[in-house]
Chains A and B, each alone.
Chain A
Amino acid sequence: MPDWEGVRLHVVSGKGGTGKTTVAAALAMALAADGKRTLLIEVEERQGIAELFGISALPYEERRVASVGPGALGRSGTRGSTGKAGREGEVFALAIDIEQALLEYLEMFYKLGRAGKALRKVGFIDFATTIAPGLRDVLLTGKACEAVRRKGPDGKRHYDAVVMDAPPTGRISRFLNINTEVAGLARFGPIFTQSQAVMRVIRSPETAVHLVTLLEEMPVQETVDGVAELRSAGLPVGGVFVNMVRPPLLDEAAILASDGDHREELGLALADAGVGGRPRGGAGRSVPAATRKLVEPLLAQGREHAARVLLEREQRSDVQALKLPTYELPLLSGGVDLGGLYRLAAALKEEGAA
């Protein structure tokens, strides 16, 4: 069974530069496997999703951005039990435009009609979101919660899961803790009611806040701090997604060996393999000059690698100390494209995140 069975709203946060959007997209795809339907929501008006999927800027509407065919993410779980096997999963995306979200919201409560446009003209929207910073967040999280709760004509949930590419760790608790944010503002009225409803979803077991990190000191430290902050705010902490994990290219022995003095043997081995020229055979073999020149730079790279592996090991144990479900995503050299997203989604599925 996947780790997040029952979770409908996945909030993905993390330090800037750790690849939140990528992880959120891969998670939405992984969750869509086995004929499910998921929604990927962007809240920072950056069009990161469009960029990632290589499509033109998303309008303020739910658009299908990817399909996950049966078996596209590997064989796990596609057969039998669910009865949905063989059906295509779908990923929808929505880039929330705050102005339009507010207008939509006003429309819902006040039936403004054309007056809405006038409001926009006089700068009302800008003004309202400025004097009430919490309003912006209520609208964003409110939209996500609406998508979570939306039901189809058959009474079933419209989306099996909603994944939100959320603000970075530094702002996440504040962003989700709508209640305290609007506490100083509305004490009644629709915004108040709305924020109560949003908070109920966010604090429920249907929500999980995941944090994305790299195996580097600052992002890991920020993750540790972020988990503590989420916990003290009473927000549901989900898993830790370790992104851009580099494959260990040298085994343990080689890492240790790169520390010692093996220049001569190494030079011979390299020469044997035809790097920089052939060694002169016989008993008193010597390393050709061209090969000799390579030994020191290669060893230096080996030492750097060893140092990094050790550092990563420390960081990994700090992540493990959090005792949260942890997933590792490989570094895709050359950046992430649509194909790469499928690979990452498959990795997440394999690890049980979906």
Chain B
Amino acid sequence: MTAPTRKQQADPLAGVALDVDALIDNPSTAIVVCCGSGGVGKTTTAAALGLRAAERGRKVVVLTIDPARRLAQSMGLTELDNTPRVVKSVSGPGELQAMMLDMKRTFDEVVLAHADPERARQIMENPFYQSLSSGFAGTQEYMAMEKLGQLQATGTWDLIVVDTPPSRSALDFLDAPNRLGSFLDGKLIRVLMAPAKVGGRSAMKFLNVGMNMFTGVLGKILGANVLQDVSTFVAAMDSMFGGFRERADRTYQLLQAPGTAFLVVAAPERDALREAAYFVDRLETDRMPLAGLVLNRVHRTGAPQLTAERALAAAETLEQGDADAETDGGAGGSATAQESQGSQGSQASEGSQASEVLAAGLLRLHADRVRTITHERRMRDRFVSIYPDVPLVEVPALAGDVHDLEGLREIGERLAAG
């Protein structure tokens, strides 16, 4: 949805540049979803984008899933209370709020919204509900999307930036709404609830032999009490099933809507980029609007003209020189010669020797840096040659972690500068 700007046509691997500022400044951008594999700086990217958008005048809320403590603190989030909180010290005309997702509470909210208080209480006390709301593998993903829907429905913000859960696989959060939705109104569960609804015997008549065996096995391996819990849960939830399904569909449509932009976040490493490629494919299959790829933690050098080979050769020359000097000093000269040279000379040579050691070290460091850059470039180029149309921005690596808004601001600047 951004207007991609071609940096240069000549190099087929140059790719299309992702203009982050154009994306967040565009008033029709209403939702930005940051996705990608674990450990690539997804949450940090989401937070930095949110801050930058706010400082450029938008009214933003950032929904984080499981932020590292430091990152949460950097935005002034100290408790997981499922409510957006204003982030202080944001400069500029906009406003930033941030929140951490509490999946159990979000699930409770859904139940409360759809059931009368008495029924809601029944549902929430059900042991099966408790394990579903806090333990089910897809619940976090589902609730993240549910929360997104809620935030959007309030109309309080003009930009929502969402972080996605660190899933087992990239598929999870796109599939979760559907999976939980279809699970909750699925055929199987309806069969199960039949006994509770109509009362044992008569309902059993309607079950074919296969289903009989099915519930039998299920009861045996899980214990009959589980089935009981599930069927009372399902009975209590009955009125809500339509709601769940509908909500899941709505969230899915929201993700496909033109105001939504997906940013795939990756690091210039094989695994992370493979996962990113997978995401890009998946988003395309599901017709989800992909804005581009954010390549985090990319290394740069201020001295690209010096190759790794030449730097290493020079480092060796310097170290060789050092070794020679040491041998000379050790074997060389009588006591008188050393005395006659005096302290002045030895000091000078000490100084130049120290700078030679430093120079050699810096050269080795540079060679290492250049090799890292070469490797990262190869990884990046591979991605670009497969996905030449995916806009891409490289974010230079920060020396340390983010501790405060200043750090987030710095990342935001790097995101925009590319």
A→B interface (CB under 8 Å): 15-18, 44-46, 51, 106, 109-110, 112, 115, 118-119, 122-124, 127-128, 130-136, 167-168, 170, 174, 181, 184-192, 216-219, 221-222, 249-251, 253-254, 257-258, 262, 265-266, 268-270, 272-276, 293-294, 296-302, 304-305, 307-308, 311, 333-335
The 8 A CB mask of B106-143 against A (1 = contact, 0 = none) is 00000000000000000000011011100111000000
Query: CB distance A333 to B375 under 8 Å?
Result: yes
Query: CB distance A168 to B166 under 8 Å?
Result: yes
Query: CB distance A298 to B363 under 8 Å?
Result: yes
**B135: contacting residue among A134, A249, A251, A305, CB under 8 A:** A134
Decide: A265 near B130, CB < 8 A? Known: A189-B221, A192-B223. Answer: no
Closest to B367 in A: A249
Decide: A273 near B314, CB < 8 A? Known: A190-B221, A221-B69, A298-B363. Answer: yes
Decide: A297 near B358, CB < 8 A? Known: A170-B66, A273-B317. Answer: no
Closest to A126 in B: B183
Q: Counting chain B CB atoms within 10 Å of each CB, which of A134, A181, A302 scores highest?
A: A302
Query: CB distance A46 to B169 under 8 Å?
Result: yes
Residues of A within 8 A of B325 (CB): none
Q: Counting chain A CB atoms within 10 Å of each CB, which of B37, B131, B267, B360 scores highest?
A: B131
Of all A-B residue pairs in the complex, the 4 with the closest CB atoms, nearest first, are: A17-B39, A16-B38, A297-B302, A186-B223
The distance in angstroms between the C-alpha atoms of A276 and B311, with both chains bound, is: 10
Q: List 15 A-B contacts (CB under 8 A).
A: A15-B39, A18-B39, A110-B217, A132-B131, A132-B222, A132-B226, A174-B135, A181-B135, A250-B358, A250-B364, A257-B355, A262-B355, A269-B358, A272-B317, A301-B301
Query: CB distance B68 to A218 under 8 Å?
Result: yes
Query: CB distance A184 to B359 under 8 Å?
Result: no
Residues of B within 8 A of A333 (CB): 368, 371-372, 375
**A135: contacting residue among B222, B311, B364, B371, CB under 8 A:** B222
Additional A-B contact list (6), CB under 8 Å, known A112-B217, A136-B137, A257-B358: A44-B168, A45-B168, A127-B218, A184-B127, A218-B68, A221-B69
The distance in angstroms between the C-alpha atoms of A23 and B127, with both chains bound, is: 38
Residues of A within 8 A of B375 (CB): 333-335
Decide: A249 near B301, CB < 8 A? Known: A186-B226, A275-B310, A333-B371. Answer: no
Closest to B362 in A: A298
Closest Cβ–Cβ distance, residue A153 to chain B (whole Å): 31
**A16: contacting residue among B37, B132, B306, CB under 8 A:** B37
Closest to A135 in B: B222
Residues of A within 8 A of B317 (CB): 272-274
B400 adjacent to chain A (CB < 8 Å): yes
Residues of A within 8 A of B183 (CB): 127, 130
Decide: A269 near B303, CB < 8 A? Known: A184-B131, A185-B226, A253-B357. Answer: no
Query: CB distance B362 to A258 under 8 Å?
Result: yes
Closest Cβ–Cβ distance, residue A213 to chain B (whole Å): 11
Residues of B within 8 A of A45 (CB): 168-169
The distance in angstroms between the C-alpha atoms of A15 and B39, with both chains bound, is: 7
B272 adjacent to chain A (CB < 8 Å): yes
Query: CB distance B70 to A273 under 8 Å?
Result: no
Query: CB distance A128 to B221 under 8 Å?
Result: yes
Query: CB distance B399 to A297 under 8 Å?
Result: no
Number of interface residues of B (CB under 8 A): 78
The distance in angstroms between the C-alpha atoms of A131 and B360, with both chains bound, is: 62
The 8 A CB mask of B248-269 against A (1 = contact, 0 = none) is 0000000000000000000101
Residues of B within 8 A of A132 (CB): 131, 222, 226
Closest Cβ–Cβ distance, residue B365 to chain A (whole Å): 5
Closest to B183 in A: A130
B230 adjacent to chain A (CB < 8 Å): yes
Residues of A within 8 A of B354 (CB): 253, 257, 265
Closest Cβ–Cβ distance, residue A61 to chain B (whole Å): 22
Query: CB distance B223 to A187 under 8 Å?
Result: yes
Query: CB distance A119 to B214 under 8 Å?
Result: yes
Tell me which residues from 367 to 401 in chain B have a Cβ below 8 Å from any Cβ of chain A: 368-369, 371-372, 375, 399-401
Query: CB distance B302 to A300 under 8 Å?
Result: yes
**A249: contacting residue among B214, B270, B357, B364, CB under 8 A:** B364
Query: CB distance B358 to A217 under 8 Å?
Result: no
Query: CB distance B222 to A218 under 8 Å?
Result: no
The distance in angstroms between the C-alpha atoms of A323 and B215, with both chains bound, is: 50
Closest to A296 in B: B302
Query: CB distance B221 to A133 under 8 Å?
Result: no
Query: CB distance A185 to B355 under 8 Å?
Result: no
Decide: A269 near B168, CB < 8 A? Known: A134-B131, A187-B225. Answer: no
Query: CB distance B127 to A189 under 8 Å?
Result: no
Query: CB distance A119 to B303 under 8 Å?
Result: no
The distance in angstroms between the C-alpha atoms of A135 and B368, with both chains bound, is: 48
Query: CB distance B311 to A122 under 8 Å?
Result: no
The distance in angstroms between the C-alpha atoms of A293 and B304, with both chains bound, is: 11
Residues of A within 8 A of B169 (CB): 44-46
Closest to A294 in B: B303
Query: CB distance A222 to B269 under 8 Å?
Result: no
Residues of B within 8 A of A192 (CB): 223
Residues of B within 8 A of A301 (CB): 301-303, 362, 365-366, 369
The distance in angstroms between the C-alpha atoms of A253 and B274, with both chains bound, is: 41
Closest to B302 in A: A297
The distance in angstroms between the C-alpha atoms of A304 and B69, with both chains bound, is: 25
Residues of A within 8 A of B352 (CB): 265, 268-269
Query: CB distance A133 to B69 under 8 Å?
Result: no
Query: CB distance A189 to B222 under 8 Å?
Result: yes
B213 adjacent to chain A (CB < 8 Å): yes
Residues of A within 8 A of B400 (CB): 217, 307-308, 311
Residues of B within 8 A of A135 (CB): 221-222
The distance in angstroms between the C-alpha atoms of A272 and B352, with both chains bound, is: 11
The distance in angstroms between the C-alpha atoms of A227 and B355, with both chains bound, is: 44
Residues of B within 8 A of A302 (CB): 358, 361-362, 365
The distance in angstroms between the C-alpha atoms of A274 and B320, with both chains bound, is: 13
